[in-house]
Amino acid sequence: MPTSEQVWHDLAKASFAVLSFVTPAGAPRSSGVVYVTAEHRLYVAVGKDSWKARHIAAAGTVAVTVPIRRGGLLALLFPIPPATVSFHGTAVVHPTGALPEGPLARLVPPQRRAECRVIEIQPVGDFVTYGEGVTLNAMRTPSLARGRAPVG
């Protein structure tokens, strides 16, 4: 089973996630996003008038799945599926320019900051993992590949 520290380490190394949310009318939506981590949170930049900015601000909750690349050199020879980390969390859509420089500086170049808003995602509950912290062979057996770790 993966530990919270291992999951956070892998989330910090990755940069792509699938962000899922619900529109005010109750329709499900998901979108690929680029993110950075800081202080056990994920930060995503979106267009200031985008659907994501409007709908996530209205609901305040999201679900996230992050594929974690595996396989090293073996992945060049064989199709190796990524491990995954999934979780739900609370989301705050910050107004343009409202975040400290740290995460924002790594996410959006200064000349584009006026065009975007930043979504701050705080995971809650447990991380649900598949293939995280197990051998490639163990990924073939769902009971061995599934795991949970507290968000911490």
Residue ranges of domains in the chain, CATH in brackets: 4-150 (2.30.110.10)
**128 contacts 148 by C-beta, under 8 angstroms:** yes
**129 contacts 113 by C-beta, under 8 angstroms:** no
Among 59, 92, 85, residue whose Cα is nearest residue 150: 85
Summarize the confidence of residues 94-123 as an average pLDDT. 79
**23 contacts 50 by C-beta, under 8 angstroms:** no
pTM of model > 0.75:
yes
Report CA-CA distances (Å) from 70 to 11, 59, 133, 147.
13, 34, 10, 16
Determine what percent of the chain is predicted with pLDDT higher than 90: 61
Give per-residue burial for 17-42: e unless 16+ CB within 10 Å, then b: bebbbbeeeeeeeeeebebbbbeebb
Query: pLDDT (tens digit, 9 = 90+) per residue, 125-152?
Result: 999 999 998 888 888 899 999 999 999 8
